[in-house]
């Protein structure tokens, strides 16, 4: 199987990290989606008028992207919600391509038209990643809670594959589809020449919706079920690479520092309404910057470094996560962003993530 080359593997990457130059950024062009997936951390109804009014315009997206390129960015991820819900998706996509960016798109494929296929053929993406929720209509629509979604997904995916568009598949694994995991895995393997991502990690809502968060918790697998998925999937690829390698961050004298990940070192994320953060999960009010009220250069050079320097005085963090070796690797899914979503605080341990991390560490040993 051919190895997939990622931007972070280029020799220039470490130099860009050292000089605090962004290599990539993600932008949620909408929070709306035509599905109602049980596990989604962001989706709002497709017809949500308020969400639509708050969305960045194509001109605003182009301005942000131009600023990112001026700073050094090479790659952009377009995500949502469902990006293809935007009637102006083609305009957004072309504006990013004209800036010379490598562009990836995350989609459920159900809205892919012949016009989208022609667009991707004429102006190739870095990749189109399509999520697979089930290999049968019953399972797929149990997850999406949308009648007709399975046939729409199959039709859109086939359009992309038949046209030779580069597609990567991601298999979400949750309580509602785990019994069909073997069939989902086979479905992905038969349709991809590269690899498919297997993602059993579910994170809570960025809008803190208590009803939707209850759905997500109900869909989570136990730590041992997650380990079993990793063990059984022969083409399993981790969803997070270890970017927690900064010697200064890892030193004992810096253990009170909250952000020990790679977020904000060479990448950033922009929400559908223009809020910049280190990553798409980070929504704490003190850690987001409104790009409609300021500039990307100011956010990158001044705001993001100030966020990365945030410290904790919470004994629960200092005596546990800050000292834990697993917390410094990609085995652990804990981070300040997710801790805030789980507990309301950025420096509080999360038992669920701890149990997963220790189970994974035991498997590796």
> What pLDDT was estimated at residue 138?
98
Identify the pLDDT of residue 18: 72
pLDDT, residue 159, reads 98
What is the pLDDT confidence band of residue 236, given thresholds at 50, 70 and 90?
very low
pLDDT at 363: 79
pLDDT at 122: 97
Tell me, what's the pLDDT at 330?
77
Choice between 364 and 264, residue whose per-residue pLDDT is larger: 264
Query: Mean pLDDT, to the nearest integer, of 279-290?
Result: 96
**pLDDT score of 328:** 75
pTM for the model stands at 0.90
Please state, for a pLDDT cut of 90, what percent of the chain lies above it.
77
Least confident of 2-6, 74-78, 87-91, 123-127: 2-6
CA dist., res. 169 & res. 141, Å (int): 18
In the prediction, which pLDDT does 258 show?
93
Residue 252 has pLDDT above 50, yes or no: no
Of 273, 264, 255, which Cα lies nearest the Cα of 320? 255
243: Cα separation from own chain's centroid: 15
Residue 250 scores a pLDDT above 80: no
pLDDT (tens digit, 9 = 90+) per residue, 329-363?
Answer: 778 889 999 999 999 999 999 999 999 999 888 87
Q: Are 22 and 65 in contact (CB under 8 A)?
A: no
Q: What is the mean pLDDT of residues 189-209?
A: 89
Has residue 171 got a pLDDT over 70? yes
Question: Using one digit for the tens of pLDDT, what is the confidence trace for 220-234?
Answer: 999 999 988 877 765
| pLDDT score recorded for residue 361 | 87
pLDDT score, position 353 = 94
- Is a pLDDT exceeding 90 seen at residue 170? yes
Query: What is the residue-wise DSSP string for 136-187?
Result: SHHHHHHHH--TTHHHHHHHHHHHHHHTT--EEEEEE--TTTGGGHHHHHHH
- Phi first, then psi, for residue 90 (nearest 5°) are -60, -40
Average pLDDT of the segment spanning 31-50: 97
Lowest-pLDDT range of 100-109, 114-123, 254-263:
254-263
**How distant is the alpha carbon of residue 194 from its chain centre?**
19
Positive or negative, the Cα torsion across 266, 199, 155, 32? negative
Domain ranges of the chain: 7-232
Q: What is the mean pLDDT of the chain?
A: 90
Please state, as a whole number, how many other Cβ atoms lie within 10 Å of the Cβ of residue 216.
Answer: 20
Confidence check: pLDDT of 4 > 80: no
CATH class of 7-232: alpha beta
- Mean pLDDT lowest for which of 85-89, 140-144, 240-244, 277-281? 240-244
């Amino acid at each position: 199987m051919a190895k997939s080359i990622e931007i972070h593997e280029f020799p220039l990457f470490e130099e860009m990290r050292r000089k605090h130059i962004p290599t990539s950024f993600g932008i949620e062009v909408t929070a709306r989606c035509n599905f109602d997936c049980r596990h989604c951390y962001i989706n709002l109804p497709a017809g949500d008028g308020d969400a639509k009014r708050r969305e960045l315009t194509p001109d605003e997206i182009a301005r942000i992207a131009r600023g990112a390129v001026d700073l050094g960015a090479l790659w952009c991820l377009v995500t949502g919600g469902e990006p293809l819900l935007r009637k102006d998706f083609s305009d957004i996509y072309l504006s990013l391509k004209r800036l010379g960016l490598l562009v990836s798109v995350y989609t459920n494929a159900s809205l892919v038209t012949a016009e989208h296929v022609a667009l991707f053929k004429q102006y190739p993406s870095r990749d189109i990643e399509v999520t697979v929720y089930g290999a049968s209509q019953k399972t797929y629509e149990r997850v999406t809670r949308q009648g007709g979604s399975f046939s729409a997904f199959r039709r859109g995916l086939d359009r992309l594959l038949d046209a030779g568009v580069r597609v990567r598949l991601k298999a979400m694994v949750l309580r509602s589809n785990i019994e069909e995991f073997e069939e989902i895995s086979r479905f992905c393997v038969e349709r991809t020449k590269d690899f498919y991502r297997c993602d059993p990690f579910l994170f809570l809502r960025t809008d803190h919706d208590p009803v939707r968060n209850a759905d997500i918790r109900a869909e989570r697998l136990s730590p041992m079920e997650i380990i079993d998925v990793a063990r059984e999937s022969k083409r399993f690829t981790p969803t997070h690479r270890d970017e927690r390698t900064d010697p200064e961050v890892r030193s004992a004298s810096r253990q009170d520092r909250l952000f020990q990940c790679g977020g904000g070192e060479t990448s950033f994320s922009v929400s559908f309404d223009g809020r910049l953060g280190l990553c798409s999960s980070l929504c704490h009010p003190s850690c987001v910057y409104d790009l409609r009220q300021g500039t990307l250069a100011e956010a990158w050079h001044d705001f993001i470094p100030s966020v990365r320097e945030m410290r904790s005085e919470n004994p629960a963090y200092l005596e546990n996560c800050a000292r834990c070796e697993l917390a410094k690797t990609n085995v652990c899914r804990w981070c300040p962003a997710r801790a805030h979503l789980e507990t309301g605080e950025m420096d509080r341990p999360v038992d669920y993530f701890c149990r997963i991390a220790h189970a994974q560490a035991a498997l590796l040993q």
